A and B are shown apart, each in its own frame.
Chain A
Amino acid sequence: MLAFVLRRLGQSAFVIVAMAALVFLSVYAIGNPIDILLAPDADQQERAAAIARLGLDRPLWQQFLTFLVNLAQGDLGKSFVFGSDAVSLILARLPATLELALVALVLAIVAGIPLGILAGLRSDGWIGRGVMTGSIVGFSLPNFWLGIMMILLFAVELKWLPAGGRGATGTFLGLQFSLLDPAGWPNLLMPALTLAIYKVSLVIRLAYAGTREAMLQDYVRFARAKGLSPARIIGVHVLKNILIPIVTVLGLELGSMIAFAVVTETVFAWPGVGKLLIDSIARLDRPVIVAYLIIVVGMFTLINLAVDILYSILDPRVRLADGGH
C-alpha cells in the first residue's frame, strides 16, 4: 500500500515536470507579454528595464532552467501582472472553486444515486421513465444557459437568492470558505446547483444501469432466498456493487469541475481560479498559467490516487499492486 502510494506520487512528479516544460514553452511561443504589460506610450528605456526585471532578456534555456530550479524549491515565480507570488495568488482563489466543486459533488451523490437506483428498480414504471427523461434533459442543458435561467428565476423574479458574487465567508487556516458561514450559503447554492446538474444526470445514468444489471445477478436472487429485506439487498448488496463505476467517473468529474468551472464562475461572478486562469491567458501571465496547471495536475493526481484507494476498499478483488500493467 505505502509502496503503491509512493510510486504513484513519483509518477506524478514526472508528469508535473513534463507538463511544466510543455506549458512553459508553448506560452513562450504564443507571444511576448511585454507587449501587453507596458503602456503603449512606454519608451525604449522603460521597455528594456521591464524586460530585464522580468528576466525576459535571458536566453530561453536559461529562463527555463531558472524556472526548474525554483520549481524544485516550491517557488513558481511572480505574476507578471500583479507582481505577487503566483502560487499565493492561486491559493487565495482556489478555496472558492474547491468548495463550489465539492458542494456540486455532494449534490451529485446525494441526489443522483438514490434517483438512479429508484429508476433502475422501477425501470418499466412512470417513475423510472420520468427520472431517465429528466436525466437526459440535465445532460443536454448547456451550463451557462442553465445558470442564466436560474438567476432570472430565483434572483430576478422570485428574489430568493443573490444573483452572484461570493457573499460572506469564514476563515480557516487563513483561507476563505463560504461553507463556514451560513450567511454565505445562499450565494453558493445556485452556482453549485448549476455545476451539479450535469453530474447528477451522469450519476443517475450510472446508478440506473448498475442497478438494472445487479438486480439480475444470482447474488441478488440468493440474497432474496435468504429472506433478506429489500432495504438490505439494495442498500448493501446492490449499492456496493454499483459504487465502483460511480466512484471512477466522479473522481474524473471532480477534477474537471475544479479545473474547468470557468463558465459557471463567469456567469455567477464567482471569484474562483477559473476566472483567474482566463485573465492570465489573455495577458500571457506565464508564471500564473504554469503554476495553475501544475496545481491542477497535482490535484488530478491526488484525486486519482484517492479513487484507486477507494476502489480497493469497494472491490476486494482489486489489489493495489506494485507491478501495474
Chain B
Amino acid sequence: MTAALQVSNLETHFFTRAGVVKAVDGVSFSIARGEVLGLVGESGSGKTLTALSILGLVDPPGKIVAGSIRLGDEELTGLSERSWRAIRGKRIAMIFQDPMMTLNPVLRIETQMIEAVLAHAVMSKDNARQRCREALARVGIPSPDERLTAYPHQFSGGMRQRVAIAIALLHSPDVLIADEPTTALDVTIQAQIVAEVQKLAAATGTAILWVTHDLAVVSGLSDRLAVMYAGRIVEEGPTTEVLARPAHPYTQGLLRSLPVNNQRGRRLNQIPGSTPSLLRLPPGCPFAPRCEARQEDCVSTRPPESQHGTERRLRCFHPLGEVSP
C-alpha cells in the first residue's frame, strides 16, 4: 500500500547573510492512511519547518533544496504555486499552535469558513454555508447557526481551535498537519481536542503529522514517534517502543526531563547545554556536545541512519542498550 505521505531526504535551507541555515537537513518519514505520526523536538529543531515544507509554505530566504515529498502517488516538490494551492487545504491541511492568532480577528467565522470551502469546490454560497454548519456541528460546537455569524473574539481558545480544526477538515484531507495545536490550551481542553482530532481523522482515514514538543500529548495519541534534533530525525519507531526503550541518548534525555508523579521535591533531570546553532553545526553528531555517552567517533563523524528491525530507525553510534525491533 502506498503511504499517504512519504517524505524522503528533505532538505530545507535558509540562505541568510550570515550563511546557509540547514533548518531541515535530510528528513525522511512516511505516514500511512489513518496513522498518527508524532514529530517531537525542541524549539528550533526544524519540526515546524518540516511541516511548512510539506505545504509548500516556506518563504524566502528559505527554500526546499533537495529531497522528495510524495502525497499518494504525486510528487509535490517542484510544483508551481498554483498547483500547490490546489493541494493546500484540500489534500493537505494544517492547524496551528495559537488559535488566538490563526483566525482573522476582523472577519466573521462564516466568511473564513465559506472561503475555505469555495477555494476548492464549486458550489453556491448557501450550499457552502450548509457545509460549514455541518462541519462546526461535527467538531462539537453548539448552535452552529448562531456561531457562524460570530467573530473569533467571541469564542474561547478551545472553541477557536475547534473552528480551525473544522476548517482544516472541511475537505477531508489525506494528510492533516497539526503544529502544536494544544500548546496554548488548558490541559482539560487539550485532551478534548486530541480526542476530537483522533476521532475525526479515524473516520475519514486522514493521516496525521502531529508536531509537538510535548511528549505527554503524543504518547497517548500517536502510533509512531519521530524525534528530531538539529534538522534531522534522530530516532523513530512505534510510540510504545520508543517511550519504553529509548535508544538515542537525546530521546532518553527528553523522557527524563518530563516531570513524573510522586517525585515531589526532587530536581528534574535536564539535558545540559542548548541546541546548537544551525549555522555552525559540529562535524560529528550535532548532539555530541551535550551527550553523556559521547565517544571520539561522535565528535568527528556524523552518525548515519541505521535500521533496526522493520520499524525502528536511529542515528547514533552508541545506542543505549539493545535496540529492539
Contacts and interface: CB of A to CB of B under 8 A. Distances in A.
Interface of A: 217-219, 221-229, 232, 236-237, 240-241, 244, 314-317
Given A218-B101, A227-B90, A229-B85, A317 B153 contact: yes
Given A221-B96, A228-B115, A314 B106 contact: yes
Contacts of B153: 316-317
A225 B93 contact: yes
B151 interface: yes
B85 A223 contact: no
Interface string B106-129: 111001100110011000000000
B97 to A, nearest CB: 8
Given A315-B106, A316-B153, A317-B153, A226 B89 contact: yes
B101 to A, nearest CB: 4
Contact of A224 (B88, B106, B120): B88
A241 B104 contact: yes
Interface in B4-19: none
Interface of B: 55, 57, 85-90, 93-94, 96-98, 101-108, 111-112, 115-116, 119-120, 151, 153, 164, 167-168
Contact of B164 (A222, A228, A232): A222
Contacts of B94: 222, 225
Contacts, number: 79
Given A316-B151, A317-B151, A225 B107 contact: no
Contacts of B86: 227
Nearest to A238: B104
A298 B85 CA distance: 51
Contact of B88 (A217, A226, A315): A226
B51 to A, nearest CB: 10
Nearest to B151: A316
Nearest to A237: B104
A232 B87 CA distance: 17
Contacts of B107: 236-237, 240
Nearest to A243: B106
Contacts of A240: 104, 106-107
